[in-house]
Amino acid sequence: MVITDFLEKNARLCGLETALVEINPSEERDRATTWREFNLIESSSPDTPYRREITWQDFDRRANRFANLLLSRGLKKGDKVAILLMNCLEWLPIYFGILKAGCLAVPMNFRYSSDEIKYCLELADADVLVFGPEFVSRMEPIHNDLEGVNTFFFVGKDTPEYAEDCMSLCSYCSSNPPPVLLDKEDNAAIYFSSGTTGFPKAILHNHESLVSACLTEQNHHGQTKDDVFLCIPPLYHTGAKMHWFGSLVSGGKAVLLRGVKPEWILRAASDEKCTIVWLLVPWAQDMLDAIESGKINLNDFSLDGWRLMHIGAQPVPPSLIKRWKEVFPKHEYDTNYGLSESIGPGCVHLGVENIHKVGAIGKAGFGWQVDIVDENGKSVADGEVGELIVKGAGVMTCYYKNEEATAEVLKDGWLYTGDMAKTDEDGFIYLVDRKKDVVISGGENIYPVQIEDFLRSNDKIKDVAVIGLPDPRLGEITAAIIEIKEGMTASEEEINAFCEALPRYKRPKTIFFDKVPRNPTGKIEKPALREKYCKVSLVEAQINS
């Protein structure tokens, strides 16, 4: 079985039912809509958000058209096609069209700079780039210097002179399935790591890996054709797409919301009768803050059908879920853990029945094995900290063109995650921290996540990041970057007094009040914080000396 089989099944069995909806509350109207014979439903009122939808049959036909366009340009099985688009109605049909042509989809982070775009395109050996209007300024300085990329397809109005109008070309291509035979072992996609230690690594997955993500997601959350999934995170990331795979398996509707304001999320969930919403920690915090402050009145929304809220992509503070359940007592809650190297979320899974274990990331997900090992690869006892390793059909094939990095993390079929974890007496896994983020102060291992979780329990703190700063005597000391909630104030003395509940060695030695930067998938950008505050620390040290 290959991933495109699910799409073709839905086109046959529920072809006239809605597959995808795009909602843009900012009413952006620069997206091309020339998939000629397909009817797109758009709101015409200036008082309503820009809204488009397509059926499963439309979805499949669009994918076929793009696949046939690629084949008409001489692309063959194994060639790579990169996608540089914001979330939109065209994104997933293009992705599936690439797969149907036997090519590899190469989704690109929409935050990439020109240099990063060039680096990733060349690392992945991309032959074609599909991009949108948001990226024209970043493409201008590099499009003439890209090695290997000889075709540029543009999705939008005012096509640049070096590119071609993708939607117009597709309208002339056949909507019949392309004559390409696919196998589960065929390479399917290249994703990129977060690039927290420099430029990203290219992560290669095959069709079996993508199919395993579908089966894992649907098993964990029980999606049916009646479920409506609200998808907000960027589709270039494995997390968003693999959670959407539950809709793909079941034939349910998904809503792509372009925007993260609390009122937009609640309005989309209300208007589209969403039953499942996947959030990142900052969005959930912003929603609760707006509701608790009275800026948003829940009576203005119809949310009776919303059954499940789940969070992933980062550690989830138990205090946040406690607040959520107070506001939404009928919601089921779940969390999934995963990496792009493990085809996204699901290799570890909490389960809605285990909300009493909030704080844990769970146990082995459907179809997965897990272990926690020491530096010699030996399993550690319950309660001991070691490195989390996972094994399953969703493990990447390799880091593309990087044998050395692959050998560091793939050993006997096990993926070494780089995350430090421990289990409790019931076998539930708790993340302790990233291996590289552990602060070693005076020979003592300090795990920033534990301190961050504690600080987030303070009612005045919206977000926090704990990092290590160089120290001539102890090697490193902990620094807390704290973002205070809007309308509130807090002093360093107040935070230090609050931290007296922590063991002395875990108390932050330095406090900075600042905004906590997060990437589009919600992860704290700690390298940026280290760079910024290491410089501050060095300046202060020089002044004090």
Q: What is the CA radius of gyration of the chain?
A: 24
**Per-residue pLDDT tens for 328-371?**
999 999 999 998 999 988 999 999 999 999 889 999 999 999 99
- What residues does each domain of the chain span? 4-244, 260-434, 438-544
In what helix (H) or strand (E) does residue 399 lie, and over which residues does it extend?
A: strand 398-399
Q: What is the pLDDT of residue 532?
A: 85
Q: What is the pLDDT of residue 520?
A: 66
Kindly state the tokens that stand for 354.
């285990």
Q: Among the residues of 101-232, which ranges form H helices?
A: 114-123, 136-139, 166-170, 207-221
Q: Could you give the 3-state DSSP secondary structure of residue 246?
A: helix
Q: Could you give the 3-state DSSP secondary structure of residue 514?
A: coil
Q: What is the pLDDT of residue 403?
A: 95
Residues constituting the chain: 545
Q: Which comes out higher in pLDDT, residue 70 or 32?
A: 70
Over range 507-531, report the average pLDDT: 83
**Per-residue pLDDT tens for 108-134?**
988 888 988 999 999 999 999 999 999
Of the pLDDT bands very low, low, confident and very high (cuts 50, 70, 90), residue 311 is: confident
Rounded to 5°, angle at Cα 227 from 13 and 255:
95
Query: For domain 438-544, which CATH number applies: 3.50.50.60, 3.30.300.30, 1.20.120.790, 3.40.50.2300?
Result: 3.30.300.30
Kindly state the tokens that stand for 73.
């340009």
Beta carbons of 515 and 500 less than 8 angstroms apart: no
Of the pLDDT bands very low, low, confident and very high (cuts 50, 70, 90), residue 31 is: very low
Strands (DSSP E) found in 258-326 = 276-279, 308-312
Beta carbons of 113 and 88 less than 8 angstroms apart: no
Neighbours of 511 (CB within 10 A): 18
Beta carbons of 73 and 49 less than 8 angstroms apart: no
Neighbours of 162 (CB within 10 A): 11
Mean pLDDT of the chain: 88
- Does the domain at 260-434 match CATH 3.20.20.70? Answer given as no
Beta carbons of 362 and 337 less than 8 angstroms apart: yes
**Per-residue pLDDT tens for 164-215?**
999 999 999 999 999 999 999 999 999 998 654 457 899 999 999 999 999 9
Q: Which fold has domain 4-244?
A: Rossmann fold (3.40.50)
**Model confidence at 219: pLDDT above 90:** yes
Domains 4-244 and 260-434 are alike in CATH topology: yes
Instruction: Measure Cα distances from 200 to 174, 394, 416 in Å.
Output: 36, 20, 17
Helices and strands, number each (H, E), in the chain: 15, 27
Nearest to 119 by CA among 147, 97, 96: 147
Nearest to 250 by CA among 57, 64, 13, 89: 13
Residue position matching structure tokens 């979330």: 87
Beta carbons of 149 and 40 less than 8 angstroms apart: no
Q: What is the pLDDT of residue 39?
A: 37
**DSSP code of residue 144:** T
**Model confidence at 253: pLDDT above 80:** yes
Cα–Cα distance between 466 and 480 in angstroms, integer? 4
Q: What is the pLDDT of residue 442?
A: 62
Cα–Cα distance between 367 and 235 in angstroms, integer? 24
**Model confidence at 15: pLDDT above 60:** yes
Q: What is the pLDDT of residue 407?
A: 96
Fill in the amino acid letter for 452.
E
Fill in the amino acid letter for 436.
K
Nearest to 116 by CA among 522, 535, 519, 544: 519
Kindly state the tokens that stand for 513.
């009040």
Q: What is the pLDDT of residue 198?
A: 58
